[in-house]
Amino acid sequence: MTDILEKDAASNRGIETLQKHAANWQLDRLVQILKYCREWNTRARNSHIAMLVVKAVVTTIPAAKLATYQGVPEILAGIAPYAERHFDRLDGMVGNSYLMDYTLFSMGSIHGESKEGYDEWIAGRKYLPPKVVEGRIQIGGSLVVEGKKGRNDDDSSNSDSDVMTIGDSDTESDSE
């Protein structure tokens, strides 16, 4: 399967070859391949191939026909939770890449203040870049970093170099 998918990807044909094969699979072979996909999908390393095979099957064979095959609905139900987990992981990686790009861009350039490369990069992106609204950074509608509001400029205990942490920590603080 990997070889078929790699050849299709190299020739920009998508999953056409795999769809042609899926259309000719007998019921027992189809069920066995979907079981393999369920197992492959449990690991991030193999999930891409598993999802492409599932896509080839569900785009080739009508859903009503798949639902009548014994065991197929249960197999597909077993694929769904891992698929959601992989898609959530990929969404997080996309969001983190924007946060990283935004952070690096905000740090400035060693070659001056040229924004040219960043603007070209943003123009070619499929996803929206992070938004900065009132000192807050939002990615995909989720608040990632928020600046301090209501800060008193006369208070010398507050400084611009405050460290903000995002997320939970497993370690205990010694400062208490």
Q: Where are the domains of the chain?
A: 2-91
Backbone phi, then psi, for 114, in 5-degree steps?
-70, 125
Per-residue confidence (pLDDT) for residue 12, from 0 to 100: 65
Residue range 119-145, pLDDT digits in tens? 676 677 666 655 655 666 555 555 555
Residue range 43-95, pLDDT digits in tens? 888 888 888 899 999 999 988 888 888 889 899 899 998 888 888 888 888 88
Confidence at 156, pLDDT banded by 50, 70, 90? very low
Query: In the chain, where do the E strands start and end?
Result: 131-133, 136-139, 142-146
| Global confidence as pTM | 0.53
Per-residue confidence (pLDDT) for residue 37, from 0 to 100: 92
Per-residue confidence (pLDDT) for residue 140, from 0 to 100: 55
Amino acid (one-letter) located at 8? D
Selected residue with higher pLDDT from 88 and 114? 88
Per-residue confidence (pLDDT) for residue 151, from 0 to 100: 42
Backbone phi, then psi, for 12, in 5-degree steps?
60, 35
Contacts (Cβ under 8 Å, ≥6 apart) of 1: 18, 49, 53
Per-residue confidence (pLDDT) for residue 149, from 0 to 100: 40
Q: Edge-to-edge strand order for the sheet containing 131-133? A: 131-133, 136-139, 142-146
The two beta strands, 131-133 and 142-146, are: unpaired
Mean pLDDT of the chain: 74
Would the pLDDT of 99 be above 50? yes
Per-residue confidence (pLDDT) for residue 36, from 0 to 100: 93
Confidence at 33, pLDDT banded by 50, 70, 90? very high
Would the pLDDT of 148 be above 80? no
Give the whole-angstrom CA distance, residue 18 versus residue 2: 10
